[in-house]
Structure 1
């Protein structure tokens, strides 16, 4: 396998495996953040600089585990069936159904007839990924070296979480991963359709269509021997997350209203809306934190070794995250000012929506929530205005 630097030079989409230059400090450049969040921005800039130091000079904050009683409650809860959304409906129906699911739960499912991803492709991709987890540890390190956030993560700090592999589009070009590569492509296609429909429903310009270089896709593969794992695993911010339902399996989701147990249909795609989608929507939707975690109903029964595969459509590391509704309104105001139409300006000023989130660097936010375990508080709260 080629070195990490060579690999990243071939990326068609700037992704999270490449490390961007540190953001300039306020002393060298005007601060892109609002004054009301200056302390949070300063903390992020500091963490941005600290995590570039050698590991011996820094200490990663300990990751807190989920509250055991909350995890047990998710196990005991009756699994809900996520709302079914069809992207093939008329625009009116899509907007209505998608808005309802986005605002009430932050997750939904797409049935097999809607997403058009062959079940055999998902099964083949799972088999190929399982073969990677069966490699000796030295071969895992050699083929997929850790280059945050991509590569194998063995969670050597506490040994609590299962092994995790994060692949971007270039790593799927490795020999023996033909199905994985096609699976990533098909899941990404569906995810981009979801983002487009979401932007139309909520009324903001879709950044993935406006500037595709801002978007990157990461396949997160977690090994589980179907034991009693209830942790959400490594968290990474995303716009939308997608998980193909190969078999009948309940999952725990950490939504804005707490842990919830869900049971999607077989061959459906479980879609969750992430932190970035919540900020883009200016807080109009609920977000799901982390990835779906399998729920083990019969802990005594021997279960086959398997994995979970979640595709996260996220942002390039050098991105700045901001509410998009307000930005669209500001652009409209500027156009109206150029037209020198006082009546239009007054009307628009009366319709403005207040901004609920301050802007922040994506890389700093991603690094922080990846290495910290925030179980009781939404990490986006620090950016609320």
Structure 2
């Protein structure tokens, strides 16, 4: 483990996130329609309610009432083989783009590494409260979720792609390796999705093009039994969620909560809001990350480990331009012969600041409306 001085130097040189919360808020820096203004007002009013009226028991209830008609039978996501990723995504694109999620099989993440990473995660959550704050100081959004609104969310920690800490007492060797391997898989999924949808690559070879976050939650520390709330929400391109056991979870989509069951050892891939904008609306998205369904007395793991492929805070989000392919019929190629031109297709989304958007959705936390609505092209 690197020393504190080495860690500080690392953050000064490479930390993609600011060391303090950004001062602007979208309500003052971004144009909004009357609908989005009304939504913001309602959100602010809800957050001013006393904890007894705005706690975690209320939020899941709102979600259940809104989406009770959408919850029917449990959905088994389509299986996509990592060994034939590009062609498999292309052949399943209609259902993948409609659902906004799929499960990845035959991937290179070994169960032994996952189990060791889970043990490292347990060690993190077994720390005393003052140790958590000392070892993982807040550099938004990194660090422990130390919000004091008493909303009952599960304890969560956001780590960067190298799982940096301020302590030499935590080695986290397996968790770092797990995060590194998951990031490789995530970048491959992003490349395959953009190729299948027919938009230019977002430049994944550029180290500053995308960033990864490891988001770990301890469900038992929060709601415990049958958790259905969405809790914190951080925008991403794709999310990778390793299923350590055969257990169901809930996904929040535009149509409501969707119960999903995946194979043990598979990776549930959720398409994020940034991917929806990049694809100009061709891909549906999942809001936030899956919430595990943990029954009381269950032997299933209460830990959730999710790798989010996301963007640097200084990024601007807008639809990617279409690409015209010449002689690239073989989808196993890297499409190096592609000729890119600016899309003549009408853009469904206006460009917006990722930092403002991320700050707003992370703190808003009440998904009464699709947060992307304010950026849709109304003309």
Correspondent of 1:86 among 74, 77, 81: 81
Structure 2 distance, partners of 1:157, 1:93, is 44
Seen in structure 2, the aligned counterparts of structure 1 residues 139 and 357 have a Cα distance that, compared at 3 Å, is same
Aligned residue-pair number = 333
Correspondent of 1:207 among 193, 202, 206: 202
Deviations, residues 86-123 of structure 1 (Å, cap 9, x unaligned): 243385443121x2233210000111x2x110011111
Q: Which runs of 5+ in 2 are unaligned?
A: 49-53, 325-340
Whichever structure has more helix as a proportion of its residues is: 1
Partner of 1:365: 357
Q: Which has the higher contact order (CA 8 A, sep 6+)?
A: 1
Aligned residue for 1:185, secondary structure, equals: helix
Partner of 2:130: 138
- The structural deviation recorded for 1:214 is 2.1
Task: Give me the CA root mean square deviation.
Answer: 3.3
Partner of 2:11: 8
Say if 2:66 and 2:256, in contact at 8 Å, map to a contact too.
no
Correspondent of 2:239 among 221, 238, 241: 241
Say if 2:247 and 2:300, in contact at 8 Å, map to a contact too.
no
- The structural deviation recorded for 1:224 is 1.4
Deviations, residues 142-177 of structure 1 (Å, cap 9, x unaligned): 000111100011331124111110000243476420
Say if 1:155 and 1:163, in contact at 8 Å, map to a contact too.
no
Say if 1:230 and 1:293, in contact at 8 Å, map to a contact too.
yes
- Could you tell me the TM-score, scaled by structure 1's length? 0.77
Structure 2 distance, partners of 1:168, 1:16, is 9
Say if 1:87 and 1:197, in contact at 8 Å, map to a contact too.
no
Larger radius of gyration: 1
Deviations, residues 173-230 of structure 1 (Å, cap 9, x unaligned): 7642000100011100000010010111111122142533121100001111142322
Partner of 2:160: 168
Q: Which runs of 5+ in 1 are unaligned?
A: 24-30, 32-36, 48-57, 330-347
Partner of 2:108: 116
Which piece of structure 1 moves more, 220-229 or 124-133? Answer: 220-229
Say if 2:70 and 2:257, in contact at 8 Å, map to a contact too.
no
- The structural deviation recorded for 1:79 is 1.7
- The structural deviation recorded for 1:69 is 3.0
Partner of 2:371: 379
Partner of 1:105: 99
Structure 2 distance, partners of 1:125, 1:74, is 38
